[in-house]
Amino acid sequence: MSANITANPLETGADDLERFALEECVKRHRFDQRVSVLIIPDKRCETAIKFARLGAQAVVADEPQLQQDIEGRILAAGLRDEISFVPCTLPELPDDPPGEPYDIIVIRRGLCGMPYDQARTVVRQLLLKLKIGGKLYISVLGLHSELSEGYATSELGIDQRFGELSPAIAKKYGIHQPVCLYTERNLFLLLLETGASVLRTLTTTYGNVKGIAVRV
């Protein structure tokens, strides 16, 4: 896929992955009044609010310094009983968060801030936080996107592909730390290597990569 992407590859708005996760929540809620969801991260709390309004119990796991802002958004939405916040700084995951084991876990972009081997460990740990049959929804920044223009490690294999973006791209998107960019095949293999059953992967118009897997 060409990297001549002009739209924002960070895709902060609603997308197909979120839609699939919300649809799964609706399906599960028909059979179980208690559907639990973990979202990592959710700085504006928008995704958690959508799940809560579908009847789910949602947990937002994000950086400790964001707690006051996120909890303020929860209160403003009138969803204090439906959404909880737990501090989380990847690659460390929260210990025994409320609602575990979960029906649904959504993780966006966070895996890209660590080397592939570390990301694989995190995904294994996330799978253990799911119920059997629970689903994991992953979004990662794509190698075949604008972010790859001048990317220091673009020619390396996924095991070594962890480096800085070009100065211009890093400034444009505010990503100044090293990142691992993925192809769709990379994400598919990551999920397989963790023992998940892969339901689907896809590459977006912007060149980013999404995956859905189930704990078996």
Find the CATH number of the domain harbouring 72.
3.40.50.150
pLDDT in the model for residue 7: 42
For 159, the token pair is 């095991």
In a domain, 204, yes or no: yes
Number of domains the chain contains: 1
pLDDT in the model for residue 165: 96
In a domain, 6, yes or no: no
CB 52 within 8 A of CB 58: yes
In a domain, 61, yes or no: yes
Please tell me whether residue 186 adopts helix, strand or coil conformation. helix
CB 191 within 8 A of CB 120: no
In a domain, 7, yes or no: no
Below-50 pLDDT ranges, the chain: 1-14
pLDDT in the model for residue 109: 79
In a domain, 71, yes or no: yes
**The residue to which tokens 């960070």 are assigned:** 10
In a domain, 2, yes or no: no
Lateral strand order in the sheet of 57-62: 83-87, 57-62, 36-40, 102-108, 130-140, 209-214, 197-203
pLDDT digits (tens, 9 = 90+) for 41-70: 988 899 999 999 999 999 999 999 999 999
In a domain, 24, yes or no: yes
Range of the domain at 127: 16-214
> Looking at this protein, which amino acid is placed at residue 34?
R
